[in-house]
A and B are shown apart, each in its own frame.
Chain A
Amino acid sequence: MPEELKNSMAPAASRVMRSPRDLDLEITARCNLRCRYCYFFNNPAVEYRDLPAGEWLKFFDELGSLGVMKLTLAGGEPFIREDLRELIEGIVRNRMRFSFLSNGVLIDDEIAAFIADTGRCEYVQVSVDGSCAEVHDSCRGPGSFEGAVRGIRTLQRHRISATVRATIHRNNMHDLENIARFLLDELGLPRFGTNSAGYLGACCVNADDLLLNIAERQEAMATLLRLAEKYPNRISASAGPLSEGRAWRRMEEARAHDQPAFHNGGRLTACGCPSSKISVRADGTIVPCNMLNHIALGRINQDSLADVWHNSPALKQLRNRHAIPLAGFAFCADCPYMPYCTGSCPGLAYSIVGQVDHPSPDACLRRFLEEGGTIP
């Protein structure tokens, strides 16, 4: 296009898009498993009921008219819906792509063939938390490992991109090497992601059994950093020990060399989600994010999504969170890492301290060090 026009009309970075690009949809509140650290269940703010397919299909028509590009279908367990094909057809009809977050157990040849035929599936992410049934099933229940692996192999057979997320907790932290070998070498996945069980949902009642203590966290961090070197670009993380290990190394190096503040450092900038995506609960409530399920912004098919997206006071407040300086929190007082810190996930902050506009204590490097941790 004409360069003169191209250069003179660049959009300001802080402006809000006309509509969200992506949506995370909890299409069901039902699940075939009861994982001990599931973030979804045991949330008093959530009404656990499913919408009929017609409600979702009507909503997909609205999303299509807004030019939404991609939906991530989660739950609960999305493959538990008997009318899943109907929902997928509605997504395809409205010119969108889709992904799944699943435990893998209910994926069979029939649904995999249907999904493959659409040509619109970006990936199906299956949760695998161990290299064997003994480890994986310890938190997810008997038979879940076998089902997850069967689901992944079914996806691979139908040439659907299968990805894996391993959630790290006390029962599998000594199995990480085996998990990496199993997923990357034995199953032949191109890569997998990691995070860790967090103080959310069902995990809140099992926290003492499952959450890593400081020494365990440090060990998991060291192991994952080593494995990430052994398998270059094949182990990813946006949260959990690997992500923290990488971020904390950079922060410590910056502090030690008195480097300038990081881009967006020193303010609550960690969460960029409200600028490009939004979520819907299984009961049809529009929320900013699955991690902030208590913030009801509206209801699908009753409230215009475009109106919610542009005018919701709660969403505006979240988008303005980046203006809140860490220096204003007693929690951060005199912290040498403040110029390099972004406050981490607001959902986790809310779950731990009851405030969205607060840094998450769980991701605090200074606290980790004060409690005896060291950065590997």
Chain B
Amino acid sequence: MNNSDKPIANPIVVLREEFDDWAVLFNPDTADAVGTNPVGVAVWKRMDGRRSLGDIVSEIKASFTDTPDAAFEEIASFVNTLAEKGFVGLEADRKAANA
């Protein structure tokens, strides 16, 4: 996942907020679920195919205090994990699919 990639959340995936901002991402087609914390929820809500990963990281850094130096790597890793599970695609994928 590169800084300029524009991740887009799979619309079939349910964001189920359980305790405060803690949440489960649930794919009803596969029954796969991923638990996530408030930062993950904030990332998920921003994956609209318009914001790049760099944009999302910048917004997260502005929204949360004490974000670690490795925030980009950690968020990229999180998004990659979601992509591997089919929870997230890239805007480029959609363009390619439509071509």
Chain B interface SS verdict (over half): mixed
Q: Which residue of A4, A12, A67, A92 is within 8 Å of B17 (Cβ)?
A: A67
Q: Are B16 and A67 in contact (CB under 8 A)?
A: yes
CB closest chain-B residue, reference A4: B68
Interface residues in B, total, Cβ within 8 A: 29
Q: What mask results when residues 14 to 25 of chain B are scored 1 for a CB within 8 Å of chain A, else 0?
A: 111111101010
Q: Which residue of B15, B33, B68 is within 8 Å of A2 (Cβ)?
A: B68
Which residues of A are found within 8 Å of B67, using beta-carbon distances? 2
Q: Are B15 and A67 in contact (CB under 8 A)?
A: yes
CA distance A12 to B67 in the complex (A): 23
Which residues of B are found within 8 Å of A67, using beta-carbon distances? 14-17, 26
Q: Are B16 and A97 in contact (CB under 8 A)?
A: no
Which residues of A are found within 8 Å of B14, using beta-carbon distances? 67, 69, 95
A17 in the interface (beta carbon within 8 A): yes
Q: Are B17 and A5 in contact (CB under 8 A)?
A: no
Q: Are A9 and B22 in contact (CB under 8 A)?
A: yes
Q: Which residue of A2, A9, A119 is within 8 Å of B71 (Cβ)?
A: A2
CB closest chain-A residue, reference B20: A11
CA distance A96 to B29 in the complex (A): 9
- A9-B22, A67-B17, A95-B12 known; A1 and B29 CB under 8 Å? no
CA distance A12 to B20 in the complex (A): 10
CA distance A122 to B36 in the complex (A): 24
B68 to chain A, nearest CB (A): 5
Q: Are B28 and A4 in contact (CB under 8 A)?
A: no
Q: Are A5 and B38 in contact (CB under 8 A)?
A: yes
Which residues of A are found within 8 Å of B71, using beta-carbon distances? 2
- A11-B20, A69-B28, A120-B28 known; A6 and B37 CB under 8 Å? yes
Q: What mask results when residues 21 to 62 of chain B are scored 1 for a CB within 8 Å of chain A, else 0?
A: 010101011010100111110000000000000000000000
Q: A1-B36, A2-B71, A92-B28 are in contact. List 7 more A-B contacts (CB 8 A).
A: A1-B40, A1-B75, A2-B39, A5-B37, A69-B28, A95-B12, A95-B14
16 A-B residue pairings within 8 Å (CB atoms)? A1-B37, A1-B39, A2-B67, A2-B68, A2-B70, A2-B71, A5-B39, A11-B20, A12-B19, A17-B19, A67-B26, A69-B16, A96-B28, A119-B29, A120-B28, A120-B29
